[in-house]
Amino acid sequence: MAKTKSNDDLLQRLHVEGLRKRTAKLISSATDRRQKPTNRMERTVDDLKRIVNNAQDQLTGGSDKRTAAARKAANTRKRNAERRSEAAKRGARTRAKRS
């Protein structure tokens, strides 16, 4: 009887915290009622953490890694535009000398 009560307590606590009833039921039933959680339970918690992290990234405007990549890409575009501009100027000078 105590085993069922611990599952029910976990189910109720997860549901009160805002998790949907079905999800809370799946998580609470994933435990094997021992001291150490099962691999299935750990995987479930890791999946939930990953989902939460993705949601936070979207709310805050993206991850730091993506922001750094965007900054690097912008610098590369700027550098390439500068090179094109210099090449165009050299070409214009060369054409001006010939005419």
Predicted confidence (pLDDT) per residue in 85-96, tens digit: 999 999 999 999
* 66 domain residue, yes or no: yes
* 56 domain residue, yes or no: no
State both tokens at 26: 């799946």
* 11 domain residue, yes or no: yes
Structural domain for 76, as ranges:
61-99
pLDDT at 32 over 70: no
* 53 domain residue, yes or no: no
The total number of structural domains in the chain stands at 2
Q: Percent of the chain, pLDDT > 70?
A: 88
The pLDDT mean for the chain works out to 83
Q: What is the pTM of this model?
A: 0.45
- Per the CB < 8 A criterion, the answer to whether 48 and 38 are in contact is no
For 61-82, b/e burial (b = at least 16 CB within 10 A) is: eeeeeeeeeeeeeeeeeeeeee
Query: What is residue 77's predicted lDDT score, i.e. its pLDDT?
Result: 97
* 4 domain residue, yes or no: yes
